[in-house]
Copies of this chain bind each other. A is one copy, B any other.
Amino acid sequence: MNDDAASGAKVTIADVARVAGVSKAVASRALSPQPRPVSADKRERVLAAAKSLGFRVNLLAQSLTTKTVNLVAVVVNHIHDLSDLDLFDRLLADIQAVGKQVILIRVGSVDKVDEFLRRGVAYHVDAALVFSDFADAATVRRMFRTDHVIMLNARHDRLSPAIMPDEAQGIGEAVADAARKGVRTAILVTGRATSLIEQTRVASYREALTRHGIELMKLVQGDYSYVSGHAAAAEFAGEALPDAVFCTSDAMAMGIFDVYREQFANNKPRAFRLYGFDDLSLLDFDAYPIASIGYDKAVYVQEMVRMISDPENFTPGRPPVVVPTRFVSRASAG
């Protein structure tokens, strides 16, 4: 278009109103996405003027009066908290689809949280999605000065709603699958026990194993990473192998798989059956046919967007929204 518009000239609603020959208020109404009382012809004039001037509302100024910024904070420790790009991509798309935008906050180490929020826009967002396990719900509310906080890290309370996968279900299915195939002994490779989610996850495995009469030979501590999977595999290499190895992350399972790759040749588990967790899309690659536990990401994301779209959802006492998980069988489970 013309060069003025192309190089960020600042055209305000006052300019539009002047060109259209109406008042600012009329221009504002005509430009509003919501239906507001404006005569048809003036609306046309305003729209035409806005287009020719290349006008775009200043959302900052707008939010100053409307008290809503259409901005959602997504708080993570590291990017890798978003265990899968697919989830994140979908989340972003869906949030934008309801007319909001995402401000991504990487907290990193816990002690820097305060520093970030001190200068951040984060304080005035419409809602915050907390993936990071750095803090409990109360702390987050205090820091964000808002009740519109959704906890995805299982550290919710009465005031802040949560969305959480019902992991016990998928875990139960996975262990049942193993039992059905004659598994009697198992090793469980875990992540850091500091996370509440991880503690619950481990408890679910213990319960399911006991229920199916499978002996938990030992627990190996990892940190969710591929490398720690490698290390875990080395740790039980010399000993008597179990019938099955369960991991609380796919990445660790991949590390173990690579150590025992030859044993899994021809898509037949020989040393032991291997079960991961997360159902990363990476597992659809030929190289890692690892059975896993996952949930429907579309549903998960849908719940988040639904929640931030309606203030009603932030009234106290709402029970956590639970997303079902399921066992996904692959060659590593035999």
Contacts and interface: CB of A to CB of B under 8 A. Distances in A.
Contacts of A261: 286-287
Interface in A101-116: 101-106, 108, 116
Specify which of A103, A106, A258 lies most central, judged by the most chain B CB atoms within 10 Å of its CB.
Answer: A106
B60 A141 contact: no
A263 to B, nearest CB: 14
A123 interface: yes
Nearest to A3: B138
Contacts of A80: 85, 89
Nearest to A137: B6
B10 A145 contact: yes
A269 to B, nearest CB: 16
Copies in the complex: 2
Specify which of A99, A124, A159 lies most central, judged by the most chain B CB atoms within 10 Å of its CB.
Answer: A124
A284 B116 CA distance: 33
A79 B92 contact: yes
A181 interface: no
Contacts of A205: none
Specify which of A33, A285, A286 lies most central, judged by the most chain B CB atoms within 10 Å of its CB.
Answer: A285
B96 A101 contact: no
Interface string A186-229: 00000000000000000000000000000000000000001000
Given A93-B108, A258-B287, A59 B138 contact: no
Interface of A: 1-2, 5-10, 33, 54, 56-61, 63-64, 69-71, 78-80, 85, 88-89, 92-93, 96, 99, 101-106, 108, 116-124, 138, 141-142, 144-147, 159, 226, 254-255, 257-259, 261, 282, 285-288, 316
